[in-house]
Amino acid sequence: MIPAVLSIVLGAGCSDANSLQESSITIEQRRAAIKSTMQHLDGGRGREALAIISSLAKKDPHSPATQEAYATVLLAHSLQLDRDGEMDKGITYRRMALEAYRAACTNSTAPGLLQLSTAQLAQMLGETKVATLYYEKAHDSNEGDGRAAFFLTQMYLFNKEWQQAKHWINESLLRDPNEPYALLSAALVEAELGNFSMAQAYSKRGCEILPDDPNLRCMQARVIRLSGNPTRALELLSALPEPVRGSALVNDERALCILQIEEKTN
């Protein structure tokens, strides 16, 4: 199931055999260092984990396994910095993690889900061009996986680039035609393009799969408003459970419904 809120895909996995260049250390040394790193990280000893993996990354820069582990630890450290109130440092470490992910992708013969991780982190950092590039790479690399196309759709929806959004949501649905969030995203795209019958059909299908999902119902309400029925959309929004009903997103949508009703009345 594709979540409404984007999350970073960690632990994508890559083999020691995927390195395109020889390292100055042995495979056994690499594995031992990565294992020790993860044991420290799992044990809450983030600084120790960072020290080990940083040293390994300097000696073993062309190993995708090393770079992936390095990115994982850098991300964990960035979250700790956020918790400590050092937000700027947290961003710096996330940018370092992005470069580690990119290095892992470059040096891997089968980057697979690493490209999806790279794209999501780039999107989080506002690196739109990098995110787009790696989402497209992930889409091409992972046949049958519709997530990269789905996330590309969300980017184009946010920028109101409806035709691009339509292309990518169709790509996502080709791979997973019964994914409810993809169906509701398709409904939104078609509604924005004025294809209201198609929008309603997508919306109905998605909500039938998960009839009690409040986020889908909120998306459905927007589709219905865009299709010219703000009164029905307002009814759906009013029926949502808390805390969704009181969220900023729902309040904004409710205001648009009321505005559209007033415009029709006048």
> Which of 96, 114, 132 finishes a domain?
114
State the Cα torsion 206-233-148-97 to the nearest 10°: -130
What is the model's pTM?
A: 0.86
- State whether 231 and 152 are in the same domain: yes
- Cα distances from 162 to residues 126, 156, 192, in angstroms, run 20, 7, 7
Determine the average pLDDT of the residues in 127-139. 97
CA atoms within 13 A on the CB side of 260: 18
40: domain range?
1-114
9 pLDDT tier (thresholds 50, 70, 90): very low
- pLDDT for residue 70 is more than 90: yes
What does R_g of the chain's alpha carbons equal in angstroms? 22
Residue 216: pLDDT over 90 = yes
* Contact between residue 151 and residue 6 where contact means Cβ atoms under 8 Å apart: yes
Q: For the chain, how many structural domains are there in total? A: 2
Q: What CATH number is attached to the domain comprising 178?
A: 1.25.40.10
Instruction: Give me the pLDDT at residue 112, please.
Output: 83
Same domain for 264 and 154?
yes
DSSP string, 121-179: HHHHTT-HHHHHHHHHHHHHHSTT--HHHHHHHHHHHHTT-HHHHHHHHHHHHHH-TT-
What pLDDT is recorded for position 23? 56
Calculate helix-pair angle for 64-83, 27-42, nearest 10 degrees.
20
